[in-house]
A and B are shown apart, each in its own frame.
Chain A
Amino acid sequence: MQQVSDYELEVMKIIWTNGGTALYAEIVAGLEAKNNSLTKNTVLTLLSRLADKGILKTSKTGRRNIYTAAVTENDYQTHQTIRFLNKVYEGSTKGLVSTLIAKDLLSRSDYDELLNQWSGGVVADE
Chain B
Amino acid sequence: MLWQMNDLLLTVLSLSLSGSIIIAILFLCKPLYKKRLSKKWHYYIWLVVITRMLVPLSFEINIVGGIFSGFSQPGTLENELNSAMLGGGEAQIITNTPNTQNTNFDLQTATPETQTSATYSQNNIFSMLISYAWLIWIVVAAILFIRKLTIYQGFVNYIKAGRVELDSIDDLERFGRLMRQLKIKKMVGIYTNSLISSPLLIGFFKPYIALPTTNISEADFENTILHELTHYKRGDMFYKWLVQLTICLHWFNPLAYLMGREINNACELSCDEAVIKNLDDDGIKAYGNTLLNALGFGGKYKNALSSITLSDNKKILGERLNMIKNFKKKPKSAALCAVLLAIVLGMGAGIAGVYGMTNPMPVENNAPPMADGGGEFGIGTTDNTGAESNTPLIIDDDKPFIGVSLSFDIPYIQPAESLQIGRITFGPGIIYNYYFSSESGNFMVGLRRTPNDGSWMGSGWFNLASNRQGQWQFDEEATVYVYIISGSGNPEFGAVANITGHIFREDEQITFQAEQVTLNEAVIMAMDYAEKRNLEWHGNMQETFSVSDRHIHVVTLMNWTGQILHFAAIDANTGDIVSFETSEIGVPFNVLGGLELFIQNLSTMWS
| Residue positions of A touching B, CB distance < 8 A | 5-7, 38-42, 44-45, 48-49
Contacts and interface: CB of A to CB of B under 8 A. Distances in A.
Given A48-B187, A48-B189, A42 B172 contact: yes
Contact of B187 (A5, A7, A38, A41): A41
B169 interface: yes
Contacts of B167: 5
B49 interface: no
A39 B172 CA distance: 9
Contacts of A49: 165
Nearest to A6: B169
Nearest to B172: A42
A5 B170 CA distance: 13
Contact of B169 (A40, A41, A42): A42
Contact of B176 (A5, A6, A42, A48): A42
For chain B, give the interface size range.
10 to 19
A42 B165 contact: no
Contacts of A42: 169, 172-173, 175-176
B173 A39 contact: yes
Contacts of B165: 49
Interface string B47-61: 000000000000000
B169 A7 contact: yes
B525 interface: no
Interface string B169-201: 100110111011000100111100000000000
Most B CB within 10 A of own CB, among A5, A7, A38, A41 = A41
Interface of B: 165, 167, 169, 172-173, 175-177, 179-180, 184, 187-190
Contacts of A7: 169
A6 B176 CA distance: 18
A41 to B, nearest CB: 4
Contact of A45 (B177, B180, B184, B189): B189
A40 B189 contact: no
Nearest to B190: A45
Nearest to B189: A45
A39 B169 contact: no
B176 A38 contact: yes
A72 to B, nearest CB: 25
B189 A38 contact: no
Given A5-B167, A49-B165, A39 B187 contact: no
B189 A39 contact: no
Contacts of B184: 41
5 closest Cβ contacts across the A-B interface? A39-B176, A44-B187, A41-B176, A42-B176, A41-B179
B528 to A, nearest CB: 53
A66 B173 CA distance: 23
A119 to B, nearest CB: 44
Contacts of A39: 172-173, 175-177, 179-180
Nearest to A10: B169
A38 B190 contact: no
Given A38-B173, A39-B175, A41-B188, 18 more contacts: A7-B169, A38-B176, A39-B176, A40-B179, A41-B179, A41-B180, A42-B172, A42-B173, A42-B175, A42-B176, A44-B187, A45-B172, A45-B187, A45-B189, A45-B190, A48-B187, A48-B189, A49-B165
A39 B187 CA distance: 11
Nearest to B179: A41
Nearest to A36: B169
Nearest to B169: A7
Most A CB within 10 A of own CB, among B165, B175, B176 = B176
A6 B165 CA distance: 14
A81 B591 CA distance: 94
Nearest to B206: A48
B173 to A, nearest CB: 6
11 contacts: A38-B176, A39-B173, A39-B176, A39-B177, A39-B180, A41-B175, A42-B175, A44-B187, A45-B176, A45-B187, A48-B187
Contacts of A5: 167
B284 to A, nearest CB: 26
Contacts of B180: 39-41
Contacts of A48: 187, 189
A6 B167 CA distance: 10
A49 B184 CA distance: 19
Nearest to B167: A5
A45 to B, nearest CB: 6
A38 B169 CA distance: 9
A41 B181 CA distance: 12
Nearest to B176: A39
A38 B172 CA distance: 9
A83 to B, nearest CB: 19
A7 B166 CA distance: 12
